[in-house]
Amino acid sequence: MSANQRLNLREKYQKFTRDLAWEPSYQKKSDIFPQTDFEGIHIHDWDKWEDPFRLTVDAYWKYQAEKEKKLYSIIDAFAQNNGQLNVTDARYINALKLFLTGVSPLEYAAHRGFAMAGRQFGGVGPQVSCQMQSIDELRHVQTQIHTISHYNKYFNGFHDWQHMHDRVWYLSVPKSFFDDAMSAGPFEFVTAISFSFEYVLTNLLFMPFMSGAAFNGDMATVTFGFSAQSDESRHMTLGLEVIKFMLEQDERNVPIVQKWIDKWFWRGYRLLALVSMMMDYMLPKRVMSWKEAWEMYFEQNGGALFEDLARYGIRMPKYWEVTVKEKERLSHEVWSTFYNYDHAAAFHSWVPDEAEMQWLTTKYPHTFDQYYRPRFEHWQSQTDKGERWYNNTLPMLCQTCQIPMVFTEPDDPTTTCYRSSDYKGEKYHFCSDGCKDIFDDEPEKYVQAWLPVHQIYQGNCGGASVPEVLEWYHLRDGEDNKDYLYSQDRANWLKWKGLTEEAERTLKAVVNG
Amino acid sequence: MVNKNNNVYIALQNNEESRPLIEAIEHDNSDARVEFYPAMVKIDAPGRLVIRRETVEDLIGRDWDPQEIHINLISLSGNVIEDEDQFGLERAN
Amino acid sequence: MPVTAMYDYQGQPKDVQANFHGNQLVYFGWDKHLMFCAPVCLPLPPDMPFGAVLTEVLPGVYGSHPDWARLDWEQAEWSLDQQPFTPDPQQSLEAQGIHHKSLLRFRVPGLDGIAGSAS
């Protein structure tokens, strides 16, 4: 080939990936890649790995640089224009607090995880894909910190997100999710994150929620969200490729892959419970309900994906029917949880106002008025008397997902779903059959779960009283936590909007505790 | 199965650069359904959806590399087919 | 297989009773009262009489519910680790088979939460 002959895309991709590899001469391959066998996956020919995007490093830098330029010009414009004043309502900012403490640290974990997985795969195709993804994930966490740092100047709760991620009770849910994936082998890790989480589930966060951020005037967040998700499109494609590659290499891989899909679909779905409440309760102007989003992105699009994979002997993830039964209750059960325990959370909660409850009634005609409106009305009446209600006893947690046991029986929204297992003489409790199955399959892993409630009772979290634990969380009592109604955030917002008298009243209530 | 579910979709940022892409998709995929959401457009099609380089180039009057799709892409679903002349999504079923 | 690992991996259970400074964990759930979003977890002395749970512990947990004032323990139906159970107020937790991480559920007929909504 002459030097100036132009390579086509396939040849170029070949040069920039396969040609980077070499056969080791003085070390055994199994010593160099010691983690490729123990998960039970059989690979015969790594060269069958096909990256459908065929993005080479030179093109990668070019397009990523362009994405960054666009993103930063919007972030700058947002800051220069005091964009934080143009969001629909300061309550919305609480969704960003949850995002920065709960999601951004996962981007960083993904950066680490893909660097590790790329190191362990014995073929150059997946090595290159994982390396690019690792760099993407680092970009995501950086752009998120950068964007949200603007809000840190004006609102409480943003000041120590990584510390909180490692300690605060509800943040053990996302943290343990990723720890679980990273402590598995490389094949399970990529199935968990690239396929089950990114391909099947994260669209619900990055599409309807981010579109909602735009609808609520937050151009900064929607821009980092969409910019991250455009990388995710490559990751999702990688996820699908990983699955197809394993399934095509050896039929003994099929049941293992199915088991991982079952497990990580359920783990990811439980994690997304947080997103359900962000959509239904934390966006003052709503784009679509959790239920509608679940129908669109999982039941329809996910359904098409699994019909496509049926030719490999893969079926829908186990317990997907349960997610359909839960779609009319999920967000209400989860928002109620934060209303119960907001005195120990790094964001504010509130009772939805009457117009919002009307929207919930319309979107959830079979459940909202019957099961959830009565509790909100009761809580509102307590607040009206000046006695905002909190739950003052720590909750029982699920051993696997670490969420308080707030979910109800698949066929009975009025009864808590209890499941349990005995292992080596100890009792373990679960919120669902999905979480119980995951524990039962690998109990030696999950007996070690760092359950925040149990850790507090063991004396490992700064002390036995709420103020001591809050201090250990780096959470400022009366500023970062509790009801939005009495918050500094609300008082400031009213002041900025010229409602000085109401702001004074709110501030007084803050001082009065 | 009576109602075969083999939809693919692509979601793009709803901005100036995406407009000719949406137009090209509508031109080359008669079954495509275009839905606008705040800041985003989602395009679904049964079985297959393709963006052709030639169609886009005719609309914008300059060379266009299908990999430029990355800049305004939000998400997708389907098996990716990509070469010099097109960016496509399809289902096997 | 108790875990997929590269060698015979053994986990250390984090929540054995010995880690709770002489207490055991007991979980309580009041059926049809989901205003309390989840059952609760309490560290209690194993020799605590069940009567003290009723008079000293549970009022602090559930007393804020409008149904609490109408609650008559004589009418309560209990289960222990998902089996029907009749507690003995005189006996200790330990003596009547309430172990570390046991689950106690109760329901009082007629009390079904705020406006009967199971809240």
Domain ranges of chain A: 53-482, 483-513
CATH class for domain A53-482?
mainly alpha
Average pLDDT for chain B: 92
pLDDT at residue A1, rounded to an integer? 43
Distance between B61 CA and the closest CA of chain A, angstroms: 21
Phi, psi for residue C58 in degrees, rounded to 5: -65, -30
pLDDT at A511 over 60: no
pLDDT digits (tens, 9 = 90+) for C41-97: 999 999 999 999 999 999 999 999 999 999 999 999 999 999 999 999 999 999 999
Q: Map tokens 């019957």 to a residue.
A: A370
Selected residues 182-201 of chain A with any CB under 8 Å from a CB in chain C: 184-185, 188
pLDDT at residue A14, rounded to an integer? 80
pLDDT digits (tens, 9 = 90+) for B63-77: 999 999 999 999 999
Domain that holds residue C97: 21-116
pLDDT band (50, 70, 90) for residue A510: low
pLDDT at residue A233, rounded to an integer? 87
pLDDT at residue A5, rounded to an integer? 64
Distance CA A174, CA A101 (A): 10
pLDDT at residue A117, rounded to an integer? 95
Selected residues 16-55 of chain B with any CB under 8 Å from a CB in chain A: 37-40, 42
Distance between C9 CA and the closest CA of chain A, angstroms: 8
Q: How many Cβ contacts (< 8 angstroms) between chains A and C?
A: 158
In a domain, B85, yes or no: no
Interface check A336 vs C, CB under 8 A: yes
Identity of the residue in A38, A395, A450 whose CB atom sits nearest the CB atom of C14: A450
Amino acid at A486: Y
In a domain, C10, yes or no: no
Q: Which residues contact A6 (CB under 8 A, 6 or more apart)?
A: none
Count of domains forming chain C: 1
pLDDT band (50, 70, 90) for residue C34: very high
CATH at residue B27: 3.90.56.10
- What the block records as the tokens of A81 is 């224009």
pLDDT band (50, 70, 90) for residue B1: very low
Distance CA A461, CA A468 (A): 8
Q: Where are the beta strands (DSSP E) in A311-451?
A: 408-409, 412-416, 419-423, 426-430
Mean pLDDT, to the nearest integer, of A141-149? 94
Mean pLDDT, to the nearest integer, of A437-442? 98
Domain that holds residue B31: 16-80
Chains that touch A (3 or more CB pairs under 8 A): B, C
CATH at residue C108: 3.10.20.560
pLDDT at residue B51, rounded to an integer? 97
In a domain, C84, yes or no: yes
Output b/e per residue, C73-105; b: 16+ Cβ within 10 A: eeeeeebbbeeebebeeeebbeeeebbbbbbbb
Provide the 10 A C-beta neighbour count for residue C63. 11
- What the block records as the tokens of C71 is 């609650």
pLDDT digits (tens, 9 = 90+) for A265-300: 999 999 999 999 999 999 999 989 999 999 999 999
pLDDT at residue A202, rounded to an integer? 85
Count of domains forming chain B: 1
Mean pLDDT, to the nearest integer, of A421-441? 98
Percent of chain A with pLDDT strictly greater than 70: 98
Burial of residue B1, with CB atoms counted within 10 A of its CB: 0-12 exposed, 13-18 middle, 19 or more buried = exposed
In a domain, C53, yes or no: yes
pLDDT band (50, 70, 90) for residue A4: low
- Which residues of chain C make contact with A427, given a CB cutoff of 8 A? 81, 99-102
Distance CA A131, CA A137 (A): 10
Q: Crossing angle of helices A273-281/A93-102, nearest 10°? A: 170
Average pLDDT for chain A: 93
In a domain, C12, yes or no: no
Distance CA A274, CA A271 (A): 6
Note whether C63 and C92 are within 8 A (CB).
no
pLDDT digits (tens, 9 = 90+) for C90-118: 999 999 999 999 999 999 999 999 999 99
Mutation site for C-interface testing, chosen from A337, A406, A427 by largest number of C Cβ within 10 Å: A427
pLDDT at residue A200, rounded to an integer? 82
Interface check B86 vs A, CB under 8 A: no
Nearest CA in chain A to B6: A304
pLDDT digits (tens, 9 = 90+) for A382-419: 999 999 999 999 999 999 999 999 999 999 999 999 99
Question: What's the distance, CA A374 to chain centroid?
Answer: 30
Identity of the residue in A393, A404, A442 whose CB atom sits nearest the CB atom of C3: A442
pLDDT digits (tens, 9 = 90+) for A486-509: 999 999 999 999 988 888 887 777
Mean pLDDT, to the nearest integer, of C26-34? 98
Distance CA B22, CA B42 (A): 10
Burial of residue A184, with CB atoms counted within 10 A of its CB: 0-12 exposed, 13-18 middle, 19 or more buried = buried
Q: How many residues does chain A have?
A: 513
pLDDT at residue A47, rounded to an integer? 87
In a domain, B25, yes or no: yes
- Which residues of chain B make contact with A6, given a CB cutoff of 8 A? none
pLDDT at residue A509, rounded to an integer? 72
pLDDT at A513 over 70: no
Nearest CA in chain C to A456: C20
In a domain, C5, yes or no: no
DSSP C80: E
pLDDT band (50, 70, 90) for residue A474: very high
